Structure 1
Amino acid sequence: MPVQPSLELIDELRAALPESPAVMRRRLKGEWGFTDLEFQDVKNAGLLGEIVETVKAGSTPQAARKWWTGEIARLANVADVDASSLVTPGQVAELIALIDSGELTDRLARQVLEGVIADEGTPAEVVEKRGLKVVSDDGALIAAIDEALAQQPDVLEKIRDGKVQAAGAVIGAVMKAMKGQADAARVRELVLERAQA
């Protein structure tokens, strides 16, 4: 005999079904504000699940996409392994949080990521062990700026004459002296303040 389930049972079963993959992808693309091309990159890389979990761990969707489809995918290609085998979404979210808080620059974060992949610990532990925190002490930055300006005395005059791009040489020298651990935007602010003084 044919079975005739009640409408209540049908509704109950329908509500218990998980979201279909196509509906989930459409929903996430809209919620995250990704362009068609950005979302296509995520799908093609096979990293949708990792990005979802990284976002659940506290990251922004754009930052999660950037790290998973960028640096992590590059390292996975070099090692000829699956990207998800290198790091966990939680580790990526922690790394992004360190960048967002200003403790790391993208350049330093890449070094931290390599340490995490090499099993040196969590992102925070790698930062501590390798001493990779951004130098935020203005005193240290000003000392490095003064030293760079002493080697290039004409730069301040160029900046005062309206050639602000001349600050790039000093910023580069300071970044080199600080081993890439200075915040370039803060260094630029300090150099321009020096030129106005």
Structure 2
Amino acid sequence: MPLMRHLIVEGSSSSVDNGGARTTSYHTLYLPNAIHETSQQCFATDGALLADMLGRQSSVIAAFKDVPNILFVQAGQNDLRSTDTSAWLAAFAGYLATFQDAIKSSRKIVQLGISTHNPRNEGLFNVNRATADGALRRFPSEGKCDFVVDWAADPTWGPDSAAANQALYPDGTHPSQGGQSNMEANYFRPALNSLFPLT
């Protein structure tokens, strides 16, 4: 693996090792499957809202290294339980724009990625995430990020009804270990391994 990369993860409990359903998170599962040697730094915390991520954004920016960086943000899983979707999308786009400005000024190599949302066993959240995810899928073409990991598109783990299945989401919110493994193998890994191809 000739090229070192640095993976920076921001998010909430589904991105926390031993958080949520007490699982190993998709991004840690990814490391032995990376096509390049990859270091990792995770800022995600249980229950994080966008406001929490804004509060530590400068620390995330300071984590950029001189090797190619991947900054992956899993956001909205808690905000969309109650926040108006349009307001959240506007705030999230502004948050990403701050990262883009920092990337340009740092002159570091950084690929900025986001994700769609896994379901929760909550009706309002699922209504909001459907609207948000449609918009998030357009963010790369709109210049707001570089790539999207589309977990919501999964035919088994993505539907609203999946969150009521305790084999998939033990607490109706957080994916089981099988879900984290699926998130990594079928979505996260292909996306990240395509960013800096082996030459």
**What TM bracket, shorter-length normalisation?**
under 0.3
Q: Which has the larger radius of gyration?
A: 1
Larger strand proportion, structure 1 or 2?
2
Larger helix proportion, structure 1 or 2?
1
Q: State TM-score, norm by structure 1.
A: 0.25
Looking at both structures, which has the greater relative contact order when contacts are Cα pairs under 8 Å and sequence separation is at least 6?
Answer: 2
